[in-house]
């Protein structure tokens, strides 16, 4: 592609291996790189693994850093990036996606959950997602034991657990939890179905990064099944608490939220649904500068 097409900019988003490879390919061809969701940091290279290393490496070669929050801007500024770069606070595009779902898609998602046996209007719902590498092995056992206990104490709640396809996670969850009547195991969810179940949950337990950003738009309390997070804004604003794989802490915080029917009435720190428009504005400015410089 780089050999056969004239490419003015390359966009990469997030902290996956594919994002890093895309950025590295563009770097080899000296094509400017725009990194969306830039500046997220835990500063622990093995938590999250390997994402923390990948996003830091992308930062060293990117030209335009679209950071979701003020804190992510500060991280990038403090890293003294020497490559020619621009840093902008724009919010996160995941919040744009939340606001762009059409009513027809939402209605279809509601039908999906009705067919699955979930009444979104009347059921008390807990959503659980687990997949990160650092939670494989012994940590996963502690987490599943805590979930099993919560399910036994709150029998009127329906606990939804989408199963990650990784057998290190999927098989352990199935073997440990399938017998409990109020635990509903399902395949990985399409985006609209996930959004709708998030919106209607009383509590979310997750080690996902994206859910940490999206759930605050619905005021849903989060317990983050990690010891470190690159999304510290949710913790600082009161939407999320880090509980790691600590059996007793997971139970303690879950019981507090459920017993108090806690809902959080604050503004989502990760975006307002206008991130894409800000990115477009800054990209146009960059291309104009590039064009004027070439002349």
The residues that are catalytic are 15, 37, 51, 131, 133, 164
Cα 227 to Cα 250: distance, rounded to the nearest angstrom: 12
Alpha helices in the chain (DSSP H): 17-28, 51-61, 70-78, 93-99, 103-115, 138-153, 167-177, 191-199, 209-214, 232-236, 247-260, 275-294
Cα 164 to Cα 21: distance, rounded to the nearest angstrom: 24
Q: What secondary structure does DSSP assign to 260-275, as a single string?
A: HT----S--TT--S-H
Tell me what pLDDT residue 136 has: 83
Task: Determine whether 272 is exposed, middle or buried from the number of CB atoms within 10 Å of its CB (0-12, 13-18, 19+).
Answer: middle
How many Cα atoms sit within 13 Å of 83 on the Cβ side? 18
Q: Which tokens in the block code for residue 38?
A: 């830039």
H-helix or E-strand spanning residue 184: strand 183-187
Domains defined along the chain, listed by start? 10-91+273-294 (3.40.50.2000), 99-260 (3.40.50.2000)
Q: What is the dihedral of CA 210, 97, 104, 118, to 10 degrees?
A: 10
Per-residue pLDDT of the chain (295 residues; tens, 9 = 90+): 777 888 999 999 999 999 999 999 999 999 999 999 999 999 998 877 889 999 999 999 999 999 999 999 999 999 988 666 899 999 999 999 998 999 999 999 999 999 999 999 999 999 999 988 887 889 999 999 999 999 999 999 999 999 988 888 899 999 999 899 999 999 999 999 999 999 999 999 999 999 999 999 999 999 999 999 999 999 999 999 999 999 999 999 999 999 988 788 889 999 999 999 999 999 999 988 765 544 4
As a residue count, the chain comes to 295
pTM: 0.89
Which of 43, 55, 44 lies closest to 16, judged by CA? 55
């Amino acid at each position: 592609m780089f050999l056969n097409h004239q490419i003015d900019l390359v966009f990469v988003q997030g902290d996956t291996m594919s994002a890093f490879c895309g950025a590295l390919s563009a770097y080899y061809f000296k094509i400017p790189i725009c990194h969306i969701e830039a500046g997220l940091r835990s500063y622990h290279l093995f938590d999250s693994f390997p994402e923390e290393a990948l996003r830091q490496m992308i930062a060293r070669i990117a030209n335009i850093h679209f950071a979701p929050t003020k804190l992510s801007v500060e991280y990038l500024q403090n890293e003294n990036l020497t490559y020619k770069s621009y840093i902008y606070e724009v919010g996160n595009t995941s919040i744009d996606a939340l606001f762009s779902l059409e009513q027809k898609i939402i209605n279809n998602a509601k039908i999906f959950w009705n067919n699955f046996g979930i009444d979104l209007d009347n059921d008390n719902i807990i959503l659980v997602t687990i997949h990160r590498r650092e939670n494989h092995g012994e940590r996963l056992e502690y987490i599943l034991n805590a979930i099993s206990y919560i399910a036994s104490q709150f029998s009127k709640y329906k606990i939804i657990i989408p199963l990650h396809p990784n057998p290190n996670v999927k098989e352990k969850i199935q073997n440990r939890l399938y017998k409990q009547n109020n635990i509903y195991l399902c395949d990985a969810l399409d985006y609209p179905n996930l959004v709708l179940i998030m919106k209607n949950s009383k509590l979310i337990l997750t080690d996902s990064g994206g859910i940490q950003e999206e759930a605050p738009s619905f005021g849903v309390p989060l317990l983050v099944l990690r010891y470190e997070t690159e999304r510290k804004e949710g913790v600082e604003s009161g939407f999320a608490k880090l509980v790691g794989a600590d059996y007793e802490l997971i139970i303690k915080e879950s019981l507090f939220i459920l017993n108090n029917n806690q809902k959080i009435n604050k503004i989502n720190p990760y975006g307002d649904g206008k991130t894409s428009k800000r990115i477009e504005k800054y990209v146009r400015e960059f291309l104009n500068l590039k064009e004027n410089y070439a002349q």
